[in-house]
């Protein structure tokens, strides 16, 4: 008979992996694939052709570049979080079903500073045809609470990384129309941890909790399509579609004692380690933007993005035999983001930029978790592009992100072997903000 504690604990961990990856793509979606675009809040992502980062923004834009160019850079993200009114409880038959408070801290600032790099190359072959290639991170996040975190039973460490490589082609039919397409090879890996009560030990010393973690990875293919339309030279409209990506995460679960040894189920004597899988779909995204040249020096941009998060309505975890381990409703809703921005060419060498973005979360109050405690956010950006010589541009940007204060109210039932069920709760109020510092270099051949 399969170890029940093993199955349920693994299910909790891998379910968190799915939630984390999906929320990262919505609540924490990585937009840092262009520092020049960051300066105006990515408002013209699909329509404003500045450099080779258009490979990501809209592949159709490559054919509007006048020569081959390489753009590389990165953005450093510094996230600050305040946690207040944090409380957690455990309850099981050994406590008479009465919730017992969990001791612990809630220091906040659980997201380490992270550098997000990217690199793109675009090569116009002639006036119609262009090729390009890019390497970037579309999704990713890391939360690392302190060792004594009060909500550690529901998640204290989350790390997810997705790296994409994208070859792209673009064709310009005439002065008005251009199309582009690319395929993406996507590699995902991550690690999830939480502390779980020792099987059969009730409300024992929390320092004796098991360290439950899962590691998994997969790769999958996707694609993107783009079109640009210029009804007049001063107006550019862009539309980009990024496909869904289907993953089958294969993970390894292990629960260890405080001394690092693999924990043993006290009922069956089996080690608490196993394999399992999760089918995961990251949803498609549509971006539309318009760039309007107001004068020789000033251009304004506006854009909107839509993500089909309604695809993510449940987590379905199975074992290697295909038997269901758990199903959990998530009830995500489709999400929108809107941006406006502008660029002013102060002189031939210096361009100044600014933008504002409103980004709405796909999560609901019912399913918000300690792993991804995010909500609607506003992003304010400024930037500059400096061209000291014709073939070289240096871009810099700064963004300030502030989220609406949000509340986490989690409840989960764990099984301690075959001896008891433990009811775990965690509630807290969160206030998140972030600072993004970006720099990139573009060299034109």
Which letter does DSSP use for residue 33 in this model? S
Length of the chain: 445
* 39 dihedral zone (left: phi>0; alpha: psi -120 to 50; beta): alpha
| pLDDT, tens digit (0-9, with 9 covering 90-100), for 377-412 | 899 999 999 999 999 999 999 999 999 999 999 888
Mark the ranges of the chain whose per-residue pLDDT is less than 70. Answer: 1-29, 94, 199-206, 315-318, 323-330, 415-420
CB neighbour class for 84 (10 Å; exposed up to 12, middle 13-18, buried from 19): exposed
What confidence score (pLDDT) does residue 205 get? 57
Question: Hey, how many other C-beta atoms are within 10 angstroms of the C-beta on 303?
Answer: 28
Question: φ and ψ at 38, to 5 degrees?
Answer: -60, -35
Q: Are 43 and 31 in contact (CB under 8 A)?
A: no
Q: What is the CATH number of domain 4-444?
A: 2.40.160.60
Any idea which residue has 């996230």 for tokens? 79
Q: Which of 200, 202, 209 is nearest to 269 (CA)?
A: 200
CA–CA gap between residue 140 and residue 28 (Å, rounded): 8
CA distance 139 to 433: 18
Contact 196, 209 (CB under 8 A): yes
pLDDT at site 440: 97
Structure tokens at 259: 């001394």
pTM for this entry: 0.86
26 sits in which H/E element: helix 4-26
Distance CA 234, CA 121 (A): 26
SS3 for 363? coil
Cα dihedral 316, 87, 156, 359 sign: positive
Q: What is the pLDDT of residue 316?
A: 66
Give per-residue burial for 402-419: e unless 16+ CB within 10 Å, then b.
Answer: ebeebebebebebbbbeb
């Amino acid at each position: 008979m399969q170890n029940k504690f093993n199955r349920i604990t693994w299910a909790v961990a891998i379910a968190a992996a799915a939630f984390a990856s999906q929320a990262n793509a919505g609540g924490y979606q990585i937009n840092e694939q262009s520092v020049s675009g960051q300066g105006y809040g990515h408002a013209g992502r699909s329509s404003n052709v500045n450099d080779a980062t258009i490979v990501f923004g809209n592949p159709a834009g490559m054919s509007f570049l006048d020569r081959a160019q390489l753009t590389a850079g990165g953005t450093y993200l510094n996230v600050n979080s305040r946690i207040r009114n944090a409380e957690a409880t455990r309850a099981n038959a050994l406590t008479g079903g009465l919730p017992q408070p969990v001791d612990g801290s809630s220091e906040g600032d659980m997201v380490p500073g992270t550098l997000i790099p990217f690199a793109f190359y675009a090569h116009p072959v002639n006036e119609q045809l262009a090729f390009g290639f890019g390497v970037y991170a579309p999704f990713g996040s890391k939360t690392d609470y302190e060792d004594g975190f009060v909500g550690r039973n529901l998640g204290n460490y989350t790390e997810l990384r997705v790296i994409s490589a994208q070859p792209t082609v673009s064709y310009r039919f005439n002065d008005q129309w251009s199309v582009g397409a690319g395929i993406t090879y996507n590699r995902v890996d991550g690690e999830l941890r939480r502390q779980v009560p020792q099987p059969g030990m009730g409300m024992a010393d929390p320092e004796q909790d098991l360290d439950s973690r899962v590691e998994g990875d997969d790769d999958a293919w996707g694609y993107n399509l783009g079109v640009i339309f210029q009804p007049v030279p001063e107006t550019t409209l862009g539309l980009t579609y990024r496909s869904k990506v289907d993953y089958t995460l294969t993970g390894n679960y292990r629960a260890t004692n405080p001394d690092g040894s693999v924990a043993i189920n006290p009922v069956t004597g089996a080690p608490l380690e196993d394999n399992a899988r999760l089918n995961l779909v990251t949803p498609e995204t549509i971006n539309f933007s318009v760039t309007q040249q107001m004068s020789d020096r000033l251009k304004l941009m506006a854009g909107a993005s839509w993500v089909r998060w309604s695809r993510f309505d449940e987590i379905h975890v199975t074992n290697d035999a295909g038997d269901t381990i758990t199903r959990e409703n998530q009830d995500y809703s489709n999400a929108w983001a809107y941006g406006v921005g502008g660029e002013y060419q102060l002189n031939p060498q210096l361009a100044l930029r600014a933008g504002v973005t409103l980004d709405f979360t796909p999560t609901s109050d019912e399913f918000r978790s300690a792993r991804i405690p995010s909500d609607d956010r506003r992003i304010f950006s400024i930037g500059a592009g400096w061209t000291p010589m014709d073939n070289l541009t240096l871009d810099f940007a700064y963004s300030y992100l502030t989220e609406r204060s949000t509340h986490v109210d989690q409840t989960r039932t764990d099984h301690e072997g075959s001896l008891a069920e433990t009811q775990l709760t965690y509630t807290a109020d969160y206030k998140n903000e972030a600072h993004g510092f970006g720099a990139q270099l573009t060299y034109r051949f």
